[in-house]
Amino acid sequence: MRIKKVAFWDNLREWRFEPIYFSNLALLVGVSGVGKTQILKGIFNLQRIANGASLNGLAWDVTFSTVNNVEYRWQGEFETKKNLPIIFEEQDETNEFKIVREHLLREKNVIIERTPHKIIFHGNKTPKLSPFQSVVEILNQEEDISPVQQGFNKIVSYDLSSFDFFYNMSVMMSTTSVSDVFLLDYIKASDLQIQMKLVLVYRHHPEIFNNIKRIFIQAFPQVEDIKIEAIQYDNSSPKFPIQIKEKGVKEWIFQDNISSGMLKTLIHISQLYLSPEGTVILIDEFENSLGINCIDVVTDLIVENRNIQFILTSHHPYIINNIGMEHWKIVTRKGGVVTVIDAKDLNLGKSRHQAFMQLINLEEYSEGIKVE
């Protein structure tokens, strides 16, 4: 999928996110606390809603296209219950908040019209359905609705803390057709975590793994090889830690002794090679754990990629200055209202350096948070 436009309302916390327009690459910039991370969380919450989550006080309006270029618009709103314990609001997965409205359009044709009292599907009233779940989840097998859930399930919110190559291969194999699991198209389209995909291409598609390794070594020229071999202790299931071989170092270096910057660079490169077309990758504070040498390589790959949508946040000068200003989106906040301005609308300088220097001196950037 590709997200074209999105707006949110967090009625519980009285925040509003004005409509944001996206292309295949968007870099959200602005001072800390302005709302960049909340935009990513809002987009990820759409995936949760599409899979049945019930979220207190959230309203949304999102326009997106599928990999087949079919345009959808999905709108909805949950009831708002205030004065609930924080642990209930944030952590209880059994939350039940009623949907007060929901609309789904496909190429401007109405598929769903929902009010608190009825649901109209293709002009016909449905039997009574759960008031707490989106129709996208309830009717996800319907031909006109299934692409919505499938699309939102292609949103990936990157988290380095989940980076772990110690996988039990036998468990994965027991839930997957052996004849399918080794196919490259299957690996890319599967719901397997990117780490597991990397294990599979290492074992069954060395040409793809070698491309990933080649790009990685460009960022870290002291590395001469990478491998992910099975290791088994006693009678336990085999594990698959990543190992690197550095020039002039006799022994292989195991994953737990590899820097977080190296691991994060590897995961970014792997995502570019192993994510299916239509994936939407959200990366908060893109510069975290990436050294200058890593930033150049990964940024170049992101800018060149046309089959995956990237929505990034950063306030790091090097990141901003190395991504074209046509991709900059300046985030500002006045009270609880978050607004995003395209850099091209601010008549910045023609050169990237000149535009960057003007950006950091803009009132919209330097004073991104204003009180009412």
Quickly tell me which residue has 């399930």 as its tokens. Answer: 153
CA geometry: angle 49, 51, 57, nearest 5 deg: 20
Q: What is the predicted pLDDT for the residue at 43? A: 97
Give a yes or no: residue 33 inside a domain.
no
Which among 137, 98, 105 has a CA at the least distance from the CA of 122?
105
Domain-embedded: residue 271: yes
User: Which residues constitute the domain of residue 203?
Assistant: 158-279
- AA letter at 317: P
Question: Using the 8-state DSSP alphabet, how is residue 350 labeled?
Answer: S
Which pLDDT band holds residue 358 (cuts at 50, 70, 90)? confident
Instruction: Give the least confident one: 77-91, 141-155, 236-250.
Output: 77-91
Q: What pLDDT shows up at residue 170?
A: 45
- State pTM to two decimals: 0.85
Q: Is residue 50 part of a domain?
A: no
pLDDT at position 182 is 73
Residue 365 pLDDT grade (very low, low, confident, very high; cuts 50, 70, 90): low
Task: Label residue 251 by pLDDT band (50, 70, 90).
Answer: very high
Residue 49 belongs to some domain of the structure: no
**DSSP assignment of 262-294:** HHHHHHHHHHHHHSPTT-EEEESSTTTT--HHH
Is the residue at 147 inside a domain?
no
In a domain, 78, yes or no: no
Is the confidence at residue 124, as pLDDT, over 80? yes
pLDDT tens profile 181-235: 578 888 898 878 888 889 899 989 999 999 999 999 999 999 999 999 888 777 7
Q: Is residue 197 in a domain?
A: yes
Q: Is the pLDDT of residue 178 over 50?
A: no
Domain count for the chain: 1
CA distance 193 to 173: 14
Kindly state the average pLDDT of the residues 40-62: 96
Separation of alpha carbons 47 and 36, rounded Å: 18
> In this structure, is residue 334 part of a structural domain?
no
Q: In the β-sheet with 253-254, what is the strand arrangement from edge to edge?
A: 223-227, 243-246, 253-254
CA dist., res. 73 & res. 148, Å (int): 10
Which range has the top average pLDDT, 138-142, 267-271, 319-323, 361-365? 138-142
